[in-house]
């Protein structure tokens, strides 16, 4: 029974951390907030090739959306927690008013789906796998037919 209690605390921590990440990171508009959520030894197994590894890659990923869509907001569509891991499906929404993925601002309202799986240790994310629907995004801003 004691293990169940410990597991619930860890699960709550992973879920709470993911909820806070999505509520606070883009809202803060300050990329130094990334350090509060991601461990220094953070690894992403699905890092986009144009971004650096580790925490700096996370900063640049969020900066890309923050700078391209000043009104960006993230909705958690589904969150599943299992021990020290969390899986989250999100929708990013905003108005494309800055360069994004090499394309000039269109002024269009866009929605981008994403799915991420993270592992948490000591209150910070240490591992990530995920996909963002960049093809769907490019279709919305005119980059793909």
Q: Is-contact 62 45, C-beta < 8 A?
A: no
Q: How far apart are CA 20 and CA 79, in angstroms?
A: 12
3 state DSSP class of 3: helix
Contacts of residue 81, defined as CB under 8 A and 6 or more positions apart, other chains included, come to 11, 12, 14, 15, 18, 87
pTM of the model: 0.83
Question: pLDDT (tens digit, 9 = 90+) per residue, 86-128?
Answer: 999 999 999 999 998 888 999 999 999 999 999 999 999 999 9
Q: Is-contact 3 110, C-beta < 8 A?
A: no
Question: pLDDT (tens digit, 9 = 90+) per residue, 20-58?
Answer: 888 887 777 788 889 999 999 999 999 888 889 999 999
């Amino acid at each position: 029974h004691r293990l169940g209690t410990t597991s619930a605390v860890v699960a709550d921590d992973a879920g709470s951390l993911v909820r806070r990440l999505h509520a606070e990171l883009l809202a803060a508009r300050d990329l130094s907030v990334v350090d509060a959520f991601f461990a220094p030894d953070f690894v992403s197994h699905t890092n986009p090739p144009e971004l650096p590894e580790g925490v700096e890659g996370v900063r640049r990923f969020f900066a890309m959306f923050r700078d391209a869509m000043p009104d960006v907001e993230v909705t958690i569509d589904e969150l599943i927690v299992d021990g020290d891991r969390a899986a989250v499906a999100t929708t990013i929404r905003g108005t494309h008013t800055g360069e994004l993925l090499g394309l000039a601002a269109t002024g269009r309202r866009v929605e981008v789906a994403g799915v991420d799986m993270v592992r948490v240790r000591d209150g910070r994310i240490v591992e990530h796998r995920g996909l963002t629907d960049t093809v769907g995004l490019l279709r919305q801003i005119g980059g793909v037919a």
